[in-house]
Amino acid sequence: MRALLIDDEQSNLDNLQILIETYCPQVNICSAAADTRSATKLLHTHHPDLVFLDIQMPVQNGFDWLRSLSHIDFEVIFVTAYDQYAIQAMRLSAIDYLLKPVSIEELQAAVQRANQQHSLKKENHLLHNLIHFLKNDDKSTEQRIALATTKRNALCKIQ
């Protein structure tokens, strides 16, 4: 899974990156941002599967940033020093809510849940493509098959 890290404190970004690289090999950190404006640009550039998001940041907090997005197609794990936002995070369908300093075991469990959720979404998308193909199947038209690639699903002609 590709991940984007968002935190306004560089030391927190560095610590989280080290923990993920050391204990969560299934996660590839594509980028990190120190504010939500940069995060939005990186989101559109890298299309991450998972976002590790701090809540308290200058200008715009993590909750407001999520609400400002027109489409959320990634999983969210909040990483914060404040425990009072946990209920609000769950209402936004966060995968998990990790308190700083981050526990290795909790990080691994959160990443595992994110990985499972991401896999389910991929399977559902493939199933949706298959159902769409079967509904539109006409013997007079060319036959196609859906293939999953690393970036997207593609429909290919069967010759």
Tell me the domain boundaries of the chain: 2-121, 126-157
User: What is the per-residue pLDDT for 125?
Assistant: 54
DSSP secondary structure letter of residue 92: T
Band (94; pLDDT cuts 50, 70, 90): very high
**What's the average model confidence in pLDDT over 15-33?**
98
* pTM exceeding the 0.85 threshold for the entire prediction: no
Residue 48 pLDDT more than 80? yes
User: What is the per-residue pLDDT for 119?
Assistant: 86
> Which CATH architecture best describes the domain 2-121?
3-Layer(aba) Sandwich (3.40)
Residue type, 85: Y
Average pLDDT, the chain: 86
Residue 141 pLDDT more than 70? no
